[in-house]
Amino acid sequence: MNKWKRRFVNYPKIISRKLHLYRKFTRKTVPYRKNLYTIKGLRGSGTNFLQSILDQQEQNWVEPYWKHDVIDDELQYYQSHDIEVHFIYKNFFSWLLSLRKYSWHMNIKDRSIESLLTEPIYSFINQPYLSYVYDLNEGDKFDSYKNAMEMYCVKNKKFNKIANQIYSYESLLKEGRVADTVFEFNEDRKKYYLDQQYMQEYTTDQVEMVNDYFVECSFTM
């Protein structure tokens, strides 16, 4: 095997090692302050919305780790620095439409709901190691999630496991917490979530597929 082939074959392992070192040596140092908190949640689940609420309560936000992922030593770090972990999630059906509309790095904006529910999906389309390796503990194996349901289930269960406080996006809207934030929600937007108007985008078969999956997932939507 020539040097170029060896380099290509070993590329995932090289990237994994570099990522580990990057995270180890670039982690933010948390200053000594009271009421420290950090936020966890999937993209499109309302992490910025939650931060806007908590910032009104004289709490101090820090992000020593990336808010959209969890790696092995995070909980120990949070506990040793007295950092509270606040986790927010959105109903799967509304979250999937947010993901489809604002696809970030995932290059899925034009994909159908059916394909998102049935076809493989990368958390980062060009850099799957940033999420998949640590989510599923597959070492140097680079692969995709089976579908968006698996990504939602796996990542939210990991966030839930380390969280001190848990919120649903919809419950914050229902409680009227919007008034405490810089986010603007008109009544139509609030009804979209609270009346579950987004369900009109799904077929009966798709709803049944999702509900059946989450019976096994054991994470409340």
The Cα–Cα gap between 162 and 128 comes to 23
**Confidence (pLDDT) at 139:** 42
**Confidence (pLDDT) at 134:** 42
pLDDT in tens, 39-51: 999 989 999 999 9
Q: How many CA atoms lie within 13 A of 43 on its CB side?
A: 17
Strand order in the sheet with 36-40: 60-61, 36-40, 83-89, 165-168
Contact (CB, 8 A) for 132 and 114: no
Domain range spanning residue 201? 3-217
pLDDT beneath 50: ranges in the chain = 1-26, 125-143
Q: Tell me how far CA of residue 82 lies from CA of 71, 74, 79, 86, 204, in angstroms.
A: 18, 12, 5, 13, 46
Give the 3-state secondary structure of residue 182: coil
**Confidence (pLDDT) at 63:** 86
Q: How many domains would you assign to the chain?
A: 1
The Cα–Cα gap between 206 and 36 comes to 41
Closest CA to 39 of 67, 78, 79: 67
**Confidence (pLDDT) at 192:** 93
pLDDT in tens, 144-184: 788 899 989 989 999 999 999 999 999 998 887 766 666 67
Could you tell me the two tokens for 153? Answer: 């289930």
Could you tell me the two tokens for 103? Answer: 């696809």
**Confidence (pLDDT) at 22:** 42
**Confidence (pLDDT) at 47:** 92
Rounded to an integer, what is the distance from CA 201 to the centroid of its chain?
22
**Confidence (pLDDT) at 45:** 93
The Cα–Cα gap between 185 and 193 comes to 11
If 0-12 CB within 10 Å is exposed, 13-18 middle and 19+ buried, where does residue 200 land? exposed
Give the 3-state secondary structure of residue 85: strand
